[in-house]
Chain A
Amino acid sequence: MNRRYVNLIIILLLLALSIWIDLPSNPGIKIGTFERSLETVLGLDLRGGMQVILSVPAEIAVTQQNLQDAAQILENRSNALGVDEVVYQTAGERIIVGEYPGVSEAEDIIGKIKETGQLEFVDFGDVRIPAGTVVETDFGISDTAAPEATPTTEVTPTAEQTPTAEVTPTETTSATRYHTVLTGADLTSVGVVRGELNNYTVAIEFNSDAADTLKTWTTENVGKILGIVLDKTVISSPSVENPIPDGQAEIIGQFTSESANALAVQLRYGSLPIPLEIEQIRVIGPTLGQDSLDKSLLAGIIGFGIVMLFMGIYYRVPGIVADLALIFYALLVFAIFKLVPVTLTLPGIAGFLLSTGAALDANILIFERLKEEIRNGRTMRQAIDLAWRRAWPSIRDSNIAALITAAILFWFGSTFGASFVKGFALTLALGVGVSLLTAFTVTRTLLGLAVEWIKNPEQRPGLFGL
Chain B
Amino acid sequence: MINILGKRYYYFALSMLLIIPGLIILAVNGLPLAIDFKGGTLLELQFPTTNLPETTDVIALYNEMGFEEVQVQTALGPSGERDILVIRSPFMDDTTKIALVDQMQTKFGIEELAVNRFDSVGPVIAGQVTNRAALAVALAALAVIIYITYAFRGIPHAFRYGVCAIIAMLHDILIVFSITAIGSVFWGWQMDSMFLTALLTVIGFSTQDKIVVFDRIRENSGILRKLPFEKLANHSIVQTLQRSINTQLMTVEFMLLSLALFGGVTLREFAVILLVGLLSGTYSSIFIAAPLLVVWENQEWKTWFRRQSVNA
Q: Which residues of A contact B (CB under 8 A)?
A: 45, 52-53, 55, 58, 95, 104-111, 277-285, 287-288, 291-292, 294-296, 298-300, 302-304, 306-307, 310-311, 314, 346-347, 350-351, 353-354, 356-358, 360-361, 364-365, 368, 372, 390, 393-394, 397-402, 404-406, 408-409, 411-412, 415-416, 418, 420-421, 424, 428
**Ordered nearest first, which 10 A-B pairs have the shortest CB separation?**
A405-B204, A295-B264, A303-B258, A394-B215, A283-B118, A398-B208, A357-B252, A299-B263, A299-B262, A303-B255
A400 contacts B147, C-beta separation under 8 Å: yes
Interface status of B157 (Cβ within 8 A of chain A): no
What residues of A have a CB within 8 angstroms of the CB of B250 in the complex? 307, 310, 314
- Give the residue name and chain of the A residue nearest to B251 (CB): A360
Instruction: Pick from B197, B201, B219, B247: contact of A364, CB below 8 A.
Output: B247
B254 contacts A421, C-beta separation under 8 Å: no
Interface status of B105 (Cβ within 8 A of chain A): no
In the assembled complex, the Cα of A53 lies from the Cα of B128 at a distance in Å of 13
Please provide the chain B residues from 251 to 295 with a CB less than 8 Å away from any CB of chain A in the complex: 251-252, 254-259, 261-264, 266-267, 270-271, 274
Interface status of B82 (Cβ within 8 A of chain A): no
Instruction: Pick from A109, A351, A361, A368: contact of B242, CB below 8 A.
Output: A368
Q: How far is the CB of A405 from chain B (nearest CB, A)?
A: 3
With contact pairs A296-B267, A303-B258, A347-B270 given, residues A424 and B247 touching in the complex (Cβ less than 8 Å): no
B98 contacts A107, C-beta separation under 8 Å: yes
Q: How far is the CB of A253 from chain B (nearest CB, A)?
A: 30
With contact pairs A280-B122, A357-B251, A420-B197 given, residues A296 and B140 touching in the complex (Cβ less than 8 Å): no
B132 contacts A416, C-beta separation under 8 Å: yes
Please provide the chain B residues from 188 to 223 with a CB less than 8 Å away from any CB of chain A in the complex: 193-194, 196-197, 200-201, 203-205, 207-209, 211-212, 215-216, 218-219
With contact pairs A291-B78, A354-B255, A357-B252 given, residues A283 and B208 touching in the complex (Cβ less than 8 Å): no
In the assembled complex, the Cα of A107 lies from the Cα of B132 at a distance in Å of 32
What residues of A have a CB within 8 angstroms of the CB of B201 in the complex? 351, 354, 405, 409, 424, 428
B94 contacts A45, C-beta separation under 8 Å: no
Interface status of B120 (Cβ within 8 A of chain A): yes
B259 contacts A303, C-beta separation under 8 Å: yes
A402 contacts B197, C-beta separation under 8 Å: no
Q: How far is the CB of A303 from chain B (nearest CB, A)?
A: 4
B251 contacts A364, C-beta separation under 8 Å: yes
A307 contacts B255, C-beta separation under 8 Å: yes
In the assembled complex, the Cα of A353 lies from the Cα of B256 at a distance in Å of 8
What residues of B have a CB within 8 angstroms of the CB of A424 in the complex? 197, 201
Q: How far is the CB of B301 from chain A (nearest CB, A)?
A: 28
A306 contacts B271, C-beta separation under 8 Å: no
Chain B 1-37: CB-based contact to A (< 8 A → 1; otherwise 0): 0000000000000000000000000000000000000
B125 contacts A53, C-beta separation under 8 Å: yes
B208 contacts A402, C-beta separation under 8 Å: yes
Complex A-B: 17 CB contacts under 8 Å = A106-B94, A110-B93, A110-B95, A287-B46, A288-B46, A292-B266, A347-B270, A351-B201, A361-B251, A364-B247, A401-B144, A404-B140, A408-B136, A408-B139, A408-B143, A409-B201, A418-B129
B255 contacts A353, C-beta separation under 8 Å: yes
Interface status of B83 (Cβ within 8 A of chain A): no
In the assembled complex, the Cα of A363 lies from the Cα of B148 at a distance in Å of 22
A356 contacts B255, C-beta separation under 8 Å: yes
Interface status of B61 (Cβ within 8 A of chain A): no
Q: How far is the CB of B199 from chain A (nearest CB, A)?
A: 10
A288 contacts B98, C-beta separation under 8 Å: no
A306 contacts B258, C-beta separation under 8 Å: yes
Q: Which residues of B contact A (CB under 8 A)?
A: 46, 78, 93-95, 97-98, 114-122, 124-125, 128-129, 132-133, 136, 139-140, 143-144, 147-148, 151, 193-194, 196-197, 200-201, 203-205, 207-209, 211-212, 215-216, 218-219, 239-240, 242-243, 246-247, 250-252, 254-259, 261-264, 266-267, 270-271, 274
In the assembled complex, the Cα of A409 lies from the Cα of B132 at a distance in Å of 11
B117 contacts A284, C-beta separation under 8 Å: yes
In the assembled complex, the Cα of A351 lies from the Cα of B271 at a distance in Å of 11
In the assembled complex, the Cα of A157 lies from the Cα of B32 at a distance in Å of 58
Instruction: Pick from A95, A311, A400, A408: contact of B140, CB below 8 A.
Output: A408
Instruction: Pick from A107, A285, A307: contact of B251, CB below 8 A.
Output: A307
A405 contacts B93, C-beta separation under 8 Å: no
Q: How far is the CB of B103 from chain A (nearest CB, A)?
A: 15
A394 contacts B193, C-beta separation under 8 Å: no
What residues of A have a CB within 8 angstroms of the CB of B215 in the complex? 393-394, 397-398
In the assembled complex, the Cα of A52 lies from the Cα of B121 at a distance in Å of 10
A282 contacts B114, C-beta separation under 8 Å: no
Most buried by B among A106, A304, A412: A412
- Give the residue name and chain of the B residue nearest to A294 (CB): B264
- Give the residue name and chain of the B residue nearest to A416 (CB): B129
B125 contacts A401, C-beta separation under 8 Å: no
What residues of A have a CB within 8 angstroms of the CB of B147 in the complex? 397, 400-401, 404
Instruction: Pick from B197, B208, B258: contact of A421, CB below 8 A.
Output: B197
With contact pairs A365-B212, A398-B209, A404-B140 given, residues A95 and B115 touching in the complex (Cβ less than 8 Å): no
With contact pairs A277-B122, A411-B136 given, residues A108 and B98 touching in the complex (Cβ less than 8 Å): yes
What residues of A have a CB within 8 angstroms of the CB of B255 in the complex? 300, 303-304, 307, 353-354, 356-357
A303 contacts B212, C-beta separation under 8 Å: no
In the assembled complex, the Cα of A108 lies from the Cα of B94 at a distance in Å of 7
Q: How far is the CB of A338 from chain B (nearest CB, A)?
A: 22
Q: How far is the CB of B206 from chain A (nearest CB, A)?
A: 9
B266 contacts A45, C-beta separation under 8 Å: yes
- Give the residue name and chain of the B residue nearest to A428 (CB): B201
A282 contacts B120, C-beta separation under 8 Å: yes
A350 contacts B136, C-beta separation under 8 Å: no
B254 contacts A291, C-beta separation under 8 Å: no
With contact pairs A356-B255, A397-B211, A404-B143 given, residues A104 and B262 touching in the complex (Cβ less than 8 Å): no
